[in-house]
Amino acid sequence: MEIVEDDELDELGADGASSSEEGAASETDRDEEPTAENAGFEEADPDPVTTRSGSRREDGERRRATNSSSKADSGQEIFGLGSVPEGWEVRPLPNVVEVEMGSSPPSSTYNEEEQGLPFYQGNADFGHMTPKVSTWCSDPVKTAEKDDVLISIRAPVGDLNIADEHCCIGRGLAALRPNEVNGLYLFYGLAERSRWLTRLASGSTFKSVSSADLDKVDLPVPPLPEQRKIASVLYAVDQAIQKTEAIIEQAKRVKRGLVGDVMTKGIGRDEFKSVHLGPTAFEIPAPWKCPQLEEITHKITDGAHITPDYVEEGVPFLSTKNIDPFEEHFDFSGYERYVTEKDHRKLNEKCNPEMGDVLICRRATIGPAQLVRTDDPFSIFVGLGMIKPRKSVMGEYLEQFFNWEPIIKMLNVKSPGSTMKTLNLSTLRKQRIPLPPLSEQEEIVGILSSVDEEVSNAKQEKKRLGRLKKGLMQDLLTGEFRTAGKAIDLLDEVVSHG
C-alpha cells in the first residue's frame, strides 16, 4: 500500500474547527492545551453570538446583514468560521486588504551583492515572523511594502510572514496590505485559518491559489481596540519564542566550535598527525587511530525495502523525519507512524536496532545521526542506516562524529543522485573515524552532551510556548474568550501596525 505523506483533511467539514501548527487546535487536542482562561484571562460575560445557519443561502443572508457594504458576500465561503460574537464582523479579505500578487523577474536581475531590493521567491525564504534575505533583485517586477503580510500561494499554500522592509516578491508569494484592520491581527487571523486556505489550492501536482481564490477568504474582525489586544497577547508569546530560538542557535554555534576542537585536538594533546577522513586532510592527535567504520562495528545496514501499512496503534515506524540529534528520544512531533506487529517482525528480519546503536539519515538528507536510547521495539525506514558499534567505540561518540558538520558535508559529496541523494552503505562502511581511547571518548562525549542538553531544554521550552500560542489563538481569534474590558497592555509594535 502506498504511504500517504500528507495530512488528511477529510475529517474537517465546513463547520469544523481549523487546525494548524500556528493555528487552532482540534477538539481532542484542546483538552491538553493551554487556553486563554488558564493563561491568565478571565472568561468574559457571555455575549450573544450570530449563529451559523444550516444552508448557504441563509449563510449569505446572515453575512450580508453583518457586512452590508459587500455586495458579493453570498458568493463567499466561510471555511469553518462558525459563529462570531456580537460586535464582530465577518469581512471578505478584499474588504480589509489590498492584494499584490507576486511575479518573478528575469533571473539575470538576481544577485547576492545586495544590489536592488531583497527578493523573496516563496516560503523557503520565511523565518519565524519575518523573511530571511539571501538574494536581491536589481529590477523588481512586483514589490511588497514594509509591514505587508506575505502569504505563500504556491505549495505549500498558506505560510505567512511579515515584510520588514520594501522588497521584491516572486510568483510564490502575494502581499496583503492592510487598510481596515491591524496588520498583526491580520497575520494571526490568517495563521489561525491557514489550514483552511490549503483547501482553496488547485493543481494536481503543484498546489497554488489565485487572487480570485484569496477573494473567497473571510476574516472575523473585532473592533480595532480588541484587535490590538489580541495581537499584543499573541505577539508577546511570539517574542518569547524568538528569544528561545536565539538561545538554540547560539548553543548550536557553540557546539559547532566545540566539536571541531575535540575531534581534531582531543583532550590535552600536543602532538598531531595528518589523516584523510575523505578527500580532505585533518589534523588529529598522534596517538589516535583512524580505522574504517566497518573495522569498529558489528554491523552496518539499512531498513528493509518494504512499504508497510500504517495503523493507528502499533509499533513505531521511524523515518528520517524522526531523527533529531538534540533530543534524547526520537522526535515524533508532527510525524508519528505505526505498523502492525506482523509488519514489524518482517521489517526487522534484516535490521533490528537496539539500545546503543546509531541511526543515520542516508536518503535525500544525508545526516543527522541519533543514538538509540530505548529498549522499546520500533522499525526503521529504508532511508535510515543502522550502525552497531563494537566495544572499542562508544555509540555516543559515533553519534557526535556523524553530526560534525564537515563530515555531513563530506558524506553529501560522496552520495550520488541528482534529485535524491543516497548515502551508499559501502561508502559508509569505508568512512574513516578518528578514534581516541575509550576514556578520552567519554570525556569528549561529556563535553558535547552538556551543550546538547542546553539545546534540548530550549527546544522543549519552544514547544511549550508553541502549545500556549496555539491554545490562545483558538480562544482569542474565535472570540471564545474576549479581551474587551480586560487590562491588557498594548505593545508599541502592535499599535504601529494599525
pLDDT bracket for residue 327 (50, 70, 90) = confident
CA distance 359 to 388: 9
**Nine-digit cell string for 254:** 557553540
Whether 267-435 and 27-240+469-495 are alike in CATH topology: the answer is yes
Q: Is the pLDDT of residue 374 over 70?
A: yes
Model pLDDT, residue 334: 77
Residue 243 has a pLDDT of: 96
Tens digit of pLDDT for each residue in 127-154? 999 999 999 999 999 999 999 999 999 8
Q: What is the pTM of this model?
A: 0.74
Do 172 and 152 meet the contact criterion of CB atoms below 8 Å apart? yes
The rounded distance, in Å, linking the Cα atoms of 161 and 99 is 15
Segment 321-328 mean pLDDT = 90
Residue 10: its pLDDT value, please? Answer: 29
| Confidence band, pLDDT 50/70/90 cuts, at residue 278 | confident
Task: Give me the pLDDT at residue 418, please.
Answer: 74
pLDDT band at residue 417 using 50, 70 and 90 as cut-offs? confident
pLDDT at 15 over 60: no
pLDDT, average across residues 39-54: 37
Q: 360 or 26, which is more confident?
A: 360
> What is the CATH code of the structural domain delimited by 267-435?
3.90.220.20
Q: DSSP for 421-482?
A: -B--HHHHHH-B--B--HHHHHHHHHHHHHHHHHHHHHHHHHHHHHHHHHHHHHHHTTTSS-
Domain boundary assignment for the chain: 27-240+469-495, 267-435
Q: Give mean pLDDT, residues 462-474.
A: 94
Phi, psi of 170 (to 5 degrees): -85, -175
Check pLDDT > 70 for residue 157. Answer: yes
C-alpha cell at 261: 576542537
* pLDDT for residue 35 is more than 50: no
Burial of 245 per CB tally in 10 Å (0-12, 13-18, 19+): middle
CATH class of the domain whose range is 27-240+469-495: alpha beta
Under a CB-based contact definition with an 8 Å cutoff, are residues 148 and 176 in contact? yes
- State whether the Cα torsion 482-486-489-492 is positive or negative: positive
- Say whether pLDDT at 84 is over 90: no
Mean per-residue pLDDT for 458-479? 93
* Alpha helices per DSSP H over 266-339: none
By the 8 A CB rule, do 284 and 407 touch?
A: no
Pairwise CA distance, residues 36 & 470, whole Å: 10
DSSP of 271-282: -EEEEESSSSEE
The predicted pLDDT at position 64 comes to: 36
pLDDT of residue 9: 23
Contacts of 89 (CB under 8 A, 6+ apart): 66, 67, 220, 221
